[in-house]
Amino acid sequence: MTVDLICESPLWTEPELAGLADRASAAVLMRLGLDPQRHEIALLACDDARIATLNTEFRGKPSPTNVLSWPETDRAPETPGEMPGLPAAQDHDEDFLGDIAIAHETCAREAVEQAKPFAHHVTHLIVHATLHLLGFDHVRDEDATLMERIEVEILGNLGIPDPYWNGNG
């Protein structure tokens, strides 16, 4: 897996984020039967001000968010709950999947609010965003169920507890 990391904010520890990003994105690709060595992602490590600008520009929401993603190819399924159209396994060219931006302050605040280790939360968000790059989404209920199930499985394989379980269930 090639994660091209662009670290714009000094709040991020670049070597730690690079390791988390490589591990998380490779876990997604391997879970989906794709060769991590053949795929590339660009990851912008930024602050809340930068992601708020991007969120305004691309989503019309003038506020910071934790993570944003821009898939290179629209792979979303037409039928709710179906798997997206993943890259062909027999394609031998490297496949650029798209861009991700992640904001340090929002991630840190959410990790504290949810009583989770920062690294676990960041890993979850990179898994989540990588799935978005591959055509997964959570707008329709059936798609959200599929995406969440795959996220939880991938995170479990990485030794990270289910981020959606609140312990009261």
* E runs forming strands in the chain: 2-7, 39-46, 67-71, 95-103
Q: Which ranges of the chain have pLDDT less than 70?
A: 1, 89-94, 166-169
pLDDT given for residue 168 in this prediction: 44
Can you identify the CATH homologous superfamily of domain 2-82+91-157?
Answer: Metalloproteases ("zincins"), catalytic domain (3.40.390.30)
User: Are the C-beta atoms of residues 102 and 111 closer than 8 Å to each other?
Assistant: no
For helices 104-113 and 118-133, angle between their N-to-C axes, nearest 10 degrees: 120
pLDDT given for residue 165 in this prediction: 85
DSSP 114-160: TT--HHHHHHHHHHHHHHHHTT--SSSHHHHHHHHHHHHHHHHHTT-
User: Are the C-beta atoms of residues 122 and 20 closer than 8 Å to each other?
Assistant: yes
